[in-house]
C-alpha cells in the first residue's frame, strides 16, 4: 500500500469528485449519499462513503454501490494512492 501524503486540498478535491460521481449511482439505488471521507488510518488510505435510505441499508445495497462505483473510479482514476473502498450506513 502506498503511504503517500495527501494535502488537505487533495483530500477535499478527491472527496468532492467522488461525491459528484457517487451521488447519481446512490440515487439510482434509492439511497441518499450522506458523506464521503478520504482518510489515512493505521498506515492505509480509506475511501468511505456513507449512505442511507428509508428501509435499513443492507449488505446487498452496499455491495451494488461498491461495484458500480469501482468501475467508474477505475475509469476516471481520481486517486493516485492505493486505498480501500468502504460503503456503509451511518448507523442508528
Q: Are strands 44-52 and 32-41 parallel, antiparallel or unpaired?
A: antiparallel
The overall pTM is greater than 0.85? yes
Rg of the chain in Å (alpha carbons): 13
CATH tag for 8-88 (out of 3.30.420.40, 3.30.300.70, 3.40.50.300, 3.90.1580.10): 3.30.300.70
5: cell is 501524503
> Tens of pLDDT along 31-86?
999 999 999 999 999 999 999 999 999 999 999 999 999 999 999 999 999 999 99
Helix (H) or strand (E) holding 87: strand 84-88
Q: Where are the domains of the chain?
A: 8-88
Nearest partner of 85 among 53, 42, 38, 52, judged by Cα: 38
Amino acid at each position: 500500500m502506498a503511504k503517500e501524503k495527501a494535502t488537505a486540498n487533495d483530500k477535499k478535491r478527491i472527496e468532492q469528485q467522488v461525491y459528484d460521481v457517487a451521488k447519481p449511482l446512490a440515487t439510482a439505488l434509492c439511497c441518499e449519499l450522506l458523506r464521503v471521507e478520504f482518510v489515512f488510518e493505521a498506515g492505509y488510505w480509506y475511501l468511505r462513503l456513507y449512505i442511507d435510505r428509508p428501509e435499513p441499508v443492507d449488505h446487498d445495497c452496499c455491495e451494488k454501490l461498491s461495484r458500480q462505483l469501482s468501475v467508474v473510479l477505475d475509469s476516471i482514476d481520481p486517486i493516485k494512492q492505493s486505498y480501500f473502498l468502504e460503503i456503509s450506513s451511518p448507523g442508528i
